[in-house]
């Protein structure tokens, strides 16, 4: 422990954010790193607890608490405080494949479990992690390091999202020959086209995948496995196949008027925006235009928030975000004690920007869509909404949300973006490989990540359902170990 009184001596200080009215002028990342001298102070706040819940990654009260990757957080915080960022990098890389991604987009489960949360503010662990990896890049520590010996084993990975990339990174380091198939035109999957540029600039993704290519990973883009190439062909060509295709099947809203023009899935909206930005800085106009339009976002999660922030940057006239659940409390309830995940109100960057631009929080709680109303040309013009209330069902002995009679009202809407979650993996892939799926369309595997089809494995959202980038990385690392063991009879990963 570097400074025993650090958590008493220093207040939490986050990376400075560009003001909402300035940052909405572009799609750039908008947080500025602290100077190293200040970062050391933030690392000094780490208490090196006897029981460090920050790195536990365990389920408490039905929710996960702490880092799923089990990052050695007190150790790297101590090394930052002492100014030894090179050793901090090596310590971090023992457990984390892509701190350059999680340091930007992870909701920081580690911080929610930090002991400092008991009576003050948690350690800035996510920003500390990001400072380590950026130092490593700036000082040549994160350069390519190809394996010196190859095993001659060939592995195909379908999908280049965080789980696919993590598996590829680990297996390539082991010396196996790894080929990653991606149906889009750029490598990265969710990281490239599912997360907006202002949260994760795509040059950051390419920086890492370029290094992976130098190290020997082969990326094949623009190939849709299950349509352009068959499962049979892959199984004949490779010793093992890993399916990391994500949970990209969006949940729809089935109400009257759903066929109206102007209704899109959030994933399509975000993908088109990022692709147009990368291809031409929007000059090709191959994105969903929302400038001067009234936008309604259905869904209160991270994807919904990304739609809010993206719509504002594209010049939306108004943005309304619908959330079926009640508004969370601003502070923990007694029934939700530390170190459980805090079920409290979170106002993210998109909502902050909406408050600044439109003068109010865009979220409407306990509200859902009753009907999409079209004009005489079939285009969306209004949305009929209805308020909800939570009622206890005596038959099921559970609470459920029910419509409040007479609470319907209409709002203007030119564009609706459906961000209501995902229903698991896409059917054409699972059918092509003939793998078993559960009731939520997630691929079923054994404890070692192997499907019912011999030598075919699966990991990430495709296996566990829609989740976090950090969980996808964890699963990618774990499936790599399982595949390595199945090939070699042991594993040193």
**Distance set, CA 114 to CA 158, 319, 338 (Å):** 36, 35, 9
Instruction: List the one residue out of 229, 249, 216, 241 whose CA is nearest residue 183.
Output: 229
**End-to-end Cα distance, the chain:** 29
**Interval 279-298 mean pLDDT:** 98
Q: Strand 294-298 to strand 415-418: parallel, antiparallel, or no bridges (unpaired)?
A: parallel
**Interval 387-399 mean pLDDT:** 87
Q: Give the number of other CB atoms < 10 A from CB of residue 311.
A: 29
Q: Identify the domain containing residue 305 by its residue range.
A: 263-418
Q: Are residues 15 and 31 in the same domain?
A: yes
Q: Are residues 267 and 413 in the same domain?
A: yes
> What pLDDT sits at residue 399?
85
Instruction: List the one residue out of 424, 413, 387 whose CA is nearest residue 263.
Output: 413
CATH code of the domain in which 329 resides: 3.50.50.60
**Interval 351-356 mean pLDDT:** 98
> Contact 47/77 with Cβ under 8 angstroms?
no
Assign 396 a pLDDT band (cuts: 50, 70, 90).
Answer: confident
**Interval 36-49 mean pLDDT:** 94
**Interval 397-417 mean pLDDT:** 95
Q: Are residues 284 and 413 in the same domain?
A: yes
Predicted confidence (pLDDT) per residue in 128-175, tens digit: 999 999 999 999 999 999 999 999 999 999 999 999 999 999 999 999
Assign 278 a pLDDT band (cuts: 50, 70, 90).
Answer: very high
> What pLDDT sits at residue 395?
80
> What pLDDT sits at residue 261?
98
Residues present in the chain in total = 493
Q: Are residues 117 and 12 in the same domain?
A: yes
Residue 371 lies in a domain: yes
180: β partners = 157, 219
Q: Are residues 312 and 328 in the same domain?
A: yes
Backbone φ, ψ for residue 154 (5° rounding): -115, 130
> Of 382, 403, 418, which marks where a domain is finished?
418
Q: Strand 63-65 to strand 218-221: parallel, antiparallel, or no bridges (unpaired)?
A: unpaired
Question: Quick one: what percent of the chain has pLDDT higher than 90?
Answer: 94
Q: Strand 218-221 to strand 177-182: parallel, antiparallel, or no bridges (unpaired)?
A: parallel
**From CA 357, how far away is CA 39, in angstroms rounded?**
32
Q: Are residues 223 and 342 in the same domain?
A: no
> Contact 154/237 with Cβ under 8 angstroms?
yes
> Contact 166/473 with Cβ under 8 angstroms?
yes
**Interval 460-471 mean pLDDT:** 96
Assign 47 a pLDDT band (cuts: 50, 70, 90).
Answer: confident
Q: Are residues 38 and 120 in the same domain?
A: yes
Residue 255 lies in a domain: no
User: Please, what is the average pLDDT of the chain?
Assistant: 96
Residue 493 lies in a domain: no
Residue 146 lies in a domain: no
Q: Are residues 268 and 413 in the same domain?
A: yes
**Distance set, CA 84 to CA 90, 152, 243 (Å):** 10, 38, 39
Domain count, the chain: 3
Backbone φ, ψ for residue 234 (5° rounding): -65, -45
> Of 400, 418, 436, which marks where a domain is finished?
418
Query: What is the 3 state secondary structure string of the chain?
Result: CCCCCHHHHCCCCCCEECCHHHHCCCCCCCEECCCHHHHHHHHHCCCCCCCCHHHCCEEECCEEECCCCCCCHHHHHHHHHCCCHHHHHHHHHCCCCCHHHHHHHCCCHHHHCCHHHHCCCCCCHHHHHHHHHHHHHHCCCCCCCCCCCCCCCEEEEECCCHHHHHHHHHHHHHCCEEEEEECCCCCCCHHHHHCCCCCCCHHHHHHHHHHHHHCCCEEEECCCECCCECHHHHHHHCCEEEECCCCCCECCCCCECCCCECEEEHHHHHHHHHHHHHHHCCCCCCCCCCCCCEEEEECCCHHHHHHHHHHHHCCCCEEEEEECCCCCCCCCCCCCCCCCCCCCCCCCHHHHHHHHHHCCCCEEECEEEEEEEECCCCEEEEEEEEEEEEEEECCCCEEEEEECCCCCEEEECCEEEECCCECCCCHHHHHHHCCCECCCCCECCCCCCECCCCCEEECCHHHHCCCCHHHHHHHHHHHHHHHHHHHHCCCCC
> Of 90, 108, 138, which marks where a domain is finished?
138
Residue 149 lies in a domain: no
Residue 50 has pLDDT above 90, yes or no: no
36: preceding bond cis by omega (within 30 degrees): no
Question: Quick one: what percent of the chain has pLDDT higher than 70?
Answer: 100
Residue 2 has pLDDT above 70, yes or no: no
Residue 479 has pLDDT above 70, yes or no: yes
Assign 119 a pLDDT band (cuts: 50, 70, 90).
Answer: confident
Q: Are residues 388 and 468 in the same domain?
A: no
Predicted confidence (pLDDT) per residue in 74-87, tens digit: 999 999 999 999 99
Q: Are residues 130 and 179 in the same domain?
A: no
Residue 1 has pLDDT above 80, yes or no: no
Q: Are residues 20 and 123 in the same domain?
A: yes
> Contact 305/28 with Cβ under 8 angstroms?
no
**From CA 320, how far away is CA 410, in angstroms rounded?**
12
CA atoms within 13 A on the CB side of 152: 1
What is the pTM (predicted TM-score) of this model?
A: 0.96
**Interval 98-120 mean pLDDT:** 95
Q: Are residues 404 and 294 in the same domain?
A: yes
């Amino acid at each position: 422990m570097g400074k025993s009184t650090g958590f008493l001596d220093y207040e939490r200080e986050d990376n400075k954010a560009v003001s909402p009215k300035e940052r909405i002028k572009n799609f750039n990342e908008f947080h500025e790193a602290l100077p190293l001298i200040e970062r050391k102070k933030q690392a000094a706040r780490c208490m090196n607890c006897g029981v460090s819940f920050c790195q536990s990654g365990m389920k408490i009260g039905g929710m996960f608490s702490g880092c799923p990757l089990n990052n050695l957080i007190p150790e790297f915080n101590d090394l930052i405080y002492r100014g030894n960022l090179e050793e901090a990098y090596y310590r971090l890389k023992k457990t984390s494949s892509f701190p350059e991604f999680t340091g930007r987009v992870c909701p920081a489960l580690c911080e929610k479990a930090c002991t400092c949360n008991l009576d003050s503010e948690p350690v800035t662990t996510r920003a500390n992690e990001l400072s380590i990896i950026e130092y490593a890049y700036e000082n040549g520590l994160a350069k390519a390091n190809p394996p010196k010996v190859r095993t001659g084993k060939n592995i195909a990975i379908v999908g280049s999202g965080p789980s696919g990339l993590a598996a590829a990174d680990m297996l390539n380091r082991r010396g196996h020959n790894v080929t990653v198939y991606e149906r889009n035109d750029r490598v990265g999957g969710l990281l490239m086209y599912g997360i907006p540029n202002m949260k994760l600039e795509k040059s950051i993704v390419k920086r890492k995948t370029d290094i992976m290519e130098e190290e020997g990973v082969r990326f094949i883009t623009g190939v849709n496995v299950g349509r352009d190439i068959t499962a049979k062909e892959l199984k004949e060509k490779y010793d093992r196949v890993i399916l990391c295709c994500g949970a990209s099947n969006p949940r729809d809203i089935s109400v009257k008027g759903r066929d109206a023009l102007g209704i899109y899935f959030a994933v399509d909206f975000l993908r088109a925006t990022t692709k147009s930005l990368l291809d031409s800085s929007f000059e090709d106009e191959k994105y969903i235009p929302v400038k001067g339009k009234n936008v309604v976002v259905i869904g209160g999660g991270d994807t919904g928030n990304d739609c809010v922030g993206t719509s504002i940057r594209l010049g939306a006239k108004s943005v309304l975000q619908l959330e079926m659940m009640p508004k969370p409390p601003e502070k923990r309830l007694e029934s939700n004690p530390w170190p459980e995940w805090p079920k409290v109100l979170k106002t993210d960057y998109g909502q902050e920007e909406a408050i600044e631009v439109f003068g109010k929080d865009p979220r409407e709680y306990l509200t859902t869509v009753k009907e999409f109303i079209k004009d005489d040309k079939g285009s969306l013009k209004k949305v009929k909404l209805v308020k909800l209330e939570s009622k206890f069902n005596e038959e099921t002995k559970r609470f459920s949300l029910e419509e409040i009679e007479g609470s319907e009202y209409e709002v203007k809407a030119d564009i609706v973006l459906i961000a209501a979650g995902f229903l698991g993996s896409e059917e054409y892939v699972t059918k092509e490989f003939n793998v078993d799926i559960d009731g939520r369309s997630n691929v079923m595997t054994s404890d070692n990540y192997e499907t019912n089809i011999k030598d075919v494995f699966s990991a990430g959202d495709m296996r566990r359902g829609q989740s976090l980038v950090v969980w996808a990385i964890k699963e990618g690392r774990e499936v790599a170990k399982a595949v390595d063991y199945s090939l070699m009879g042991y594993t040193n990963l």
